[in-house]
Structure 1
Amino acid sequence: MWRIFGFIINEVYPAVYSLHLHLGNQHQVTFHAHENLTNVMNSDFSTKSMLTEFFATNQVDQNVRKLLYKEFPEFYVWSQQYKIWTIRKKQVVIGRIVTANPFEGERYYLQMLLNHIRGHLSFDHLKTVNGILAPTFREAATMYGLLQRDDSLEECLYEASLYQMSFSLRRLFATILVYCNPTNPRDLWEHFKQDMSADFQLVESSSSTVRTETLRSISTIFESMGRNINSFHLIDQNIDFNQDEFLFREIDDELAIPILEENLHASTLLNCEQQNAYNSILQKVLSNETAIFFIDGRGGTGKTLLYKALLATIRTKQLIALATVSSGVAASILLGGRTAHS
């Protein structure tokens, strides 16, 4: 604590202004609990944010178009009460756009454009490059030359296509899109879709069916990684598969988790306190009542034994129990364990 507080963490000069970042019509709106939601949604006041009013100021004042969004607070002050920018008269501040992660997709590329491109009047204007309206902020960033080419990723997929089976290639393709943040996923899709669909081409004569089945397979892989295929814009229209298939597959996977004999026997090894927790939790589960419990104890007091007993008992009754923990090491201890962020 002494080390942490050894650094000045308040009254820092100059002050840092945190600038909102959001896609069109996706900003946060605060309202009182008693207000009518329809009225809130239809209110002009609710449509305003730091970013939308930055665009609005650019529309009426050509002098400020030379400023980047992050430079704007040096000359203007944001009024939260009235949701307008007014000319700054005193105090020096620094503007910083809130952080966006590449995994966030379009929001990240919007941040990239705002950090480099000046004088834009709206979200669509920001996506317009040399008179051409790009379909996404990512493509606009590419047209501006803000993103590097995907040569190394293309070479990786090309090398894999020479010897890997189609399913393995599809999994590699999905992994690259999720974790390597390629500049243009559609180009990679167009370049390697024939290789990725080779197995479907053997059993399907229709090219549209082959494409659909290939995209369905890739979509399944994305879902297992917690992502949606539509966020990568591989084709012009949204891809919409039967969500029930994914739901059934998830349920089947959970019901297929093995139950070890030693875990079934664990309920007979519990001490009084563990047994009390075991009975209380199980009673709520079997009566289909909502509840939350907090189990606390030092290392070695038998918390994991209790968890294993509960998981085994619940699963023997053909119910689903999600063993969710905070670390991969803890997840490996429990059958069917997973980390919360997965």
Structure 2
Amino acid sequence: MTKLSTTLVVLCSLIALSLLAISAAEEIDGKTPKMRPHTVHFHHPKDQAHRKKFAGGYKLVSDPTLILDYHFGPVMTGQNDVIKLFVIYYGEFTKNQRTTLRSFFKSFWHPKAPVKTDRPTVEKWWQITRKYVDLYNTPVTSNIVAAGELFDNYSLGKDLNQSTIQQLVIDSFAKFGTDARAIYLVLTAKDVTVESFCMNVCGTHFYTFPSDATDSQMVPYGWVGNPATQCPELCAWPYAPGGSLAQPLIPPNGDVGIDGMTITIANILAGIGTDPYGNAYYQGDAGAPLEAAGACGGIYGAGGFPGYPGELLVDNATGASFNVFGARDHKFLVPWIWNPDTLQCAGQV
């Protein structure tokens, strides 16, 4: 590619990003930005899906190869090969729930405990995102580091919308600082209702529009709700009945809501890493895209398809099902991710 061509591609990318930001911040009453969050859809359809059938060794119906197109936007490259993760706990979380979530966050990078190569891990799952590169061939950062947490005791009530989720993120800048190369994550307790939660999403991710409150930065953030009492069959599946499962699987950490949250958190982090501003890797409508993990929705193991999770590992002591190990040998279930190299969904590099 010539120098002029490269310059034009970069310029077009910057223009597209600017237009996207302007579009995302259409004003209501001159102040409040209209939110267009990238959604994380239910992990299985309400109607049971069916495995593709074969006849004589050949597929009866050949599906087109799944492609997540690159739209020339940036991916999360972090700083010094690290993405800082700031977590906002909104509402009541028990000590055990916080311990499980903290272990999950620490599972993305724990240098004092070298990754065991003979088993699947959260770290090796995340390395699939390294296959996603930007215009300069720079990949998504290999390490996510838990950098801070904040506890909010229902300061905005128990009925939130996407704008108040963003306000929680902006308010957290006073403690965490403002960093467009970090990820801010809002987790809401089981007694908190959030706009669209359990109606058509399990979580969302978006970014702040540049303003004085954000130090003129576009900061990526996500939100995930606890589905334990509101919709476990949708946002905690397969740890609740649904799809082809008449009986739920046993959650590895003994908490349907929290084990369900970690699935969606993984989905959200993969989406932010590979499509932070809605103009990098996705398929379909930019307002409701299929992103890295969303493209493999409901698949957690070999042979999986929406409605059937696939072949999973089982804890001999508890009977719990999982597919990756994390920090301190905690066990988790994470969604498979679309691998740009193989054009297929995968659970590890």
Give your verdict on TM over 0.5: no
TM (normalized to structure 2)?
A: 0.22
| Larger RCO, structure (CA 8 Å, separation 6 or more) | 2
TM (normalized to structure 1)?
A: 0.22
